[in-house]
């Protein structure tokens, strides 16, 4: 499912192509997050116009509402939502991780209470794969146990053992699906922040020989330095021929760090979430629209950006939209941030092709800055 096209001479950065059921996807690739089968504040036409052809959906949320029977009646998420490109669905593991007071993990699966109405639910490795089959997901993720920093080694080992067992059962369920339209199943590497457990997690997942590999359990509250250390350590253990995915990163600095370590795929709600709160990515760092110094400012958010928002609207006007709670504000800000991310990734890809990635990274960060990036 993956072809490596080019590798940077001075780092592990690379570009390639994912071959998926709904068309090829160039990598590196950032995936906008469509939690409820929709990327908040933008239409599918907007996403297509920007150039995205792979977005992320959330198994936990879509399972709860509208539910599997509704999605099955439409023949999958693509027809239900009207999205023509590819869809990666996560397993719901991270959402269940976030609902610690409402869930219980056992060897057979995880039981939890819906955050919507408190109803009791159970996810097993098989049921999660089968749900994603109903969705028609182009890339599927197995159920896993995500753990926070600071837990004991014993807790980390237990979570890793369950994740490994669940991965085996997920593969069994996946192989039992009809080949027609079956999505690609990735394995997820856990192990918390213990290097030997990370190594064990890599060995277990590679032993299953799944189409792709995800590195989980990073960007969950650890320091940037620890993120970098574990990312570099884990990614160095991965084979060249499989696509590599780091889950849950969406800032320029973290993406550059990931690409330098040979990561091909990443997703995060961050670019769209901060947009809805009036914060824009620009080539000189983040622009917080609501600040008083932006009142009446008659220039585009980013003079180097060629998106329709920067081509038509001023900072002062966008600030006005947010100060008056006009829905157009989050819509325009979200479009801009996603356009920025797509353009940023294209610049990275170009630098890899020209074998100048490290120079691009250095020059970008000098201009963009480091605070909160």
What is the number of other CB atoms lying within 10 angstroms of the CB of residue 222?
A: 18
pTM (two decimals): 0.96
Interior angle at CA 63, CA 160 and CA 208, nearest 5: 35
371 pLDDT band, cuts 50/70/90, is very low
Whether 190 has a pLDDT exceeding 90, the answer reads yes
DSSP state of 293: G
Question: Mapping DSSP to helix (H, G, I), strand (E, B) and coil, where does residue 233 land?
Answer: helix
Q: What is the pLDDT of residues 124-171, one digit of tens each?
A: 999 999 999 999 999 999 999 999 999 999 999 999 999 999 999 999
Q: What is the pLDDT of residues 265-286, one digit of tens each?
A: 999 999 999 999 999 999 999 9
Catalytic residue numbers, as ranges: 90, 267
What is the number of other CB atoms lying within 10 angstroms of the CB of residue 285?
A: 16
d(CA 359, CA 362): 5
pLDDT for the residue numbered 370: 55
Segment 51-78 mean pLDDT: 97
d(CA 333, CA 274): 9
pLDDT for the residue numbered 115: 84
Interior angle at CA 269, CA 331 and CA 39, nearest 5: 45
Segment 324-345 mean pLDDT: 98
pLDDT for the residue numbered 312: 98
Segment 56-66 mean pLDDT: 95
372 pLDDT band, cuts 50/70/90, is very low
Q: Are 231 and 257 in contact (CB under 8 A)?
A: yes
Whether 327 has a pLDDT exceeding 70, the answer reads yes
Share of the chain above pLDDT 70, in %: 98
For the chain, what is the mean pLDDT? 95
**Domains of the chain by start residue, with CATH:** 2-267 (3.20.20.105), 275-368 (no CATH)
Whether 5 has a pLDDT exceeding 50, the answer reads yes
Whether 373 has a pLDDT exceeding 80, the answer reads no
Q: What is the pLDDT of residues 305-322, one digit of tens each?
A: 999 999 999 999 999 999
pLDDT for the residue numbered 134: 97
């Amino acid at each position: 499912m993956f072809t490596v096209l080019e590798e940077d001479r001075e780092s592990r950065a690379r570009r390639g192509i994912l071959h998926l059921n709904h068309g090829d996807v160039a990598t590196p690739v950032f995936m906008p997050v469509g939690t409820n089968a929709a990327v908040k504040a933008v239409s599918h036409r907007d996403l297509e116009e920007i150039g995205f052809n792979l977005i992320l959906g959330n198994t936990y949320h879509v399972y709860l509402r509208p539910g599997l029977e509704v999605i099955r009646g439409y023949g999958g998420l693509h027809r239900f939502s009207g999205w023509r490109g590819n869809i990666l669905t996560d397993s719901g593991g991270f959402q269940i991780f976030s609902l610690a007071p409402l869930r219980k993990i056992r060897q057979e699966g995880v039981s939890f209470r819906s955050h919507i109405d408190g109803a009791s639910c159970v996810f097993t490795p098989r049921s999660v794969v089968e749900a994603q089959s109903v969705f028609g997901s182009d890339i599927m993720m197995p159920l896993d146990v995500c753990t926070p920093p600071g837990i004991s080694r014993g807790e980390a080992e237990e979570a890793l053992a369950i994740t490994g067992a669940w991965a085996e059962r997920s593969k069994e369920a996946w192989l039992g699906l009809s080949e027609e339209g079956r999505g690609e199943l990735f394995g997820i590497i856990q192990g918390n922040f213990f290097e030997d457990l990370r190594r064990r997690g890599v060995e277990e997942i590679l032993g299953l020989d799944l189409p792709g590999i995800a590195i989980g359990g990073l960007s969950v509250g650890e320091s940037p330095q620890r993120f970098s250390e574990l990312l570099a350590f884990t990614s160095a253990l991965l084979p060249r021929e499989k696509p590599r995915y780091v889950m849950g990163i969406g800032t320029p600095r973290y993406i550059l760090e990931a690409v330098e370590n040979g990561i091909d795929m990443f997703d995060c709600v961050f670019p769209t979430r901060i947009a809805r709160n009036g914060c824009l990515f620009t080539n000189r760092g983040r622009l917080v629209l609501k600040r008083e110094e932006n009142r009446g400012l008659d220039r585009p958010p980013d003079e180097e950006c060629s998106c329709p928002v920067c081509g038509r609207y001023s900072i002062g006007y966008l600030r006005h939209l947010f100060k008056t709670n006009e829905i157009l504000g989050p819509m325009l800000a979200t479009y801009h941030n996603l356009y920025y991310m797509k353009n940023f990734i294209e610049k990275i890809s170009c630098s890899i092709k020209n074998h100048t990635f490290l120079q691009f990274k250095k020059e970008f960060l000098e201009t963009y800055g480091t605070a909160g990036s």
